[in-house]
């Protein structure tokens, strides 16, 4: 792939928009856009914790993920109608939840549960990484709301986390894959990092050919750079 769509450079992420207060009811509500990929992330604060944490003096952060049936090129069956969430959905919502928990001091959260719903309005590749990036902002807003309401004293947010998908396409490492690139990639890797550039999750998958150590390093370097940029977007969105 000598040139990417719309002349994007290999290390260039798509235009990013993070709109806070997107809907009215949630304690945190963010529409995140990575190019044509649009995900609505809402954070809900509830008193109490799941049973396995009762009485441990800590809180919990969890996440759910869904795609609107026609967020994609062809319509997908509605999971509520099928009667179960697919493996991909479960895998993604577990990833989002782990990533968010890495950013939060659960002790400082007290016995509260924050659920972040990430619903894909429009998909064009990278929905899980956009979701993590937006969800972290919705979470930050919800924690801010808790402090304003006096529910918690200190801010449990230890850092920001953001995510990007990188891959090897036509032998070249590129960042923030859009749908057509994702479909063509030999390797696809989702990386979640903190604002400090430390790693939370690294999930690399050889779609076609196995990848080499050098390719891995190239992808990680791209991810680091892109996540730095995404964290800037997050900071501006939170600052409002």
The annotation places the binding site for phosphate at 88, 126-128
Contact status: 51 vs its own copies (CB under 8 A): no
Whole-number minimum distance, CB 2 to its own copies, in Å? Answer: 25
Site string for its own copies, 181-220 (x = CB under 8 A): --------x---xx-x-xxxxxxxxx--xxxxx--x---x
Contacts (CB under 8 A) with its own copies, residues 6-25: 23-25
Q: Choose between 9 and 158: whose C-beta lies nearer to its own copies.
A: 158
Handedness of CA 79, 85, 91, 92 (dihedral sign): positive
- Provide CB contacts within 8 A for 72, sequence distance 6+: 123
> CA 237 → CA 26, 51, 92, 188, distances in Å?
17, 34, 24, 28
With CB under 8 A as the rule, give the number of residues binding its own copies.
66
Contact status: 69 vs its own copies (CB under 8 A): yes
Q: Choose between 213 and 239: whose C-beta lies nearer to its own copies.
A: 213
Q: Choose between 2 and 196: whose C-beta lies nearer to its own copies.
A: 196
Whole-number minimum distance, CB 60 to its own copies, in Å? Answer: 14
Handedness of CA 17, 133, 116, 143 (dihedral sign): negative
What's the number of CA atoms in the CB half-sphere (13 Å) around residue 65? 23
Question: Which residue from 186, 185, 216, 213 is spatially nearest to 202, judged by alpha carbons?
Answer: 216
Among 98, 106, 108, 229, binds its own copies (CB under 8 A): 98
User: Residues annotated in the binding site, as ranges?
Assistant: 88, 126-128
* Rounded Cα–Cα distance for residues 18 and 238 (Å): 9
Name residue 206's beta-bridge partners: 187
Contacts (CB under 8 A) with its own copies, residues 127-186: none
* Rounded Cα–Cα distance for residues 135 and 123 (Å): 16
Per CB under 8 A, residues contacting its own copies are 23-26, 29, 36, 38, 40, 42, 44, 46, 64, 66, 68-75, 78-91, 93-94, 98, 102, 115, 117, 119, 121-124, 189, 193-194, 196, 198-206, 209-213, 216, 220
């Amino acid at each position: 792939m000598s040139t990417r769509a719309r002349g994007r450079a290999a290390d260039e992420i798509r235009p990013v928009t993070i709109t806070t207060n997107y809907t009215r009811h949630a304690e945190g509500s963010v529409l995140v856009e990575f190019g044509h990929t649009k995900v609505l992330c809402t954070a809900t604060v509830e008193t109490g914790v799941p049973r396995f944490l009762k009485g441990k003096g800590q809180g919990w952060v969890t996440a759910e993920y869904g795609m609107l049936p026609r967020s994609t090129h062809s319509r997908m069956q509605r999971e509520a109608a099928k009667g179960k969430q697919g493996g991909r959905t479960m895998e993604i919502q577990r990833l989002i939840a782990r990533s968010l928990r890495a950013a939060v001091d659960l002790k400082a959260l007290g016995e509260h549960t924050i659920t972040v719903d990430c619903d894909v309005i429009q998909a064009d590749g990278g929905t899980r990484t956009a979701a993590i990036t937006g969800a972290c902002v919705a979470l930050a807003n919800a924690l801010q709301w808790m402090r304003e309401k006096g529910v918690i004293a200190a801010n449990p947010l230890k850092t920001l986390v953001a995510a990007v998908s990188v891959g090897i396409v036509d032998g070249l490492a590129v960042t923030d894959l859009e749908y057509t690139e994702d479909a063509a990639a030999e390797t696809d890797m989702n990386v979640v990092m903190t604002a400090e550039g430390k790693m939370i999750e690294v999930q690399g998958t050889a779609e076609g050919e196995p990848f080499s150590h050098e390719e891995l390093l190239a992808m990680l370097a791209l991810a680091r750079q892109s996540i730095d940029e995404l964290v800037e977007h997050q900071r501006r969105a939170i600052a409002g």
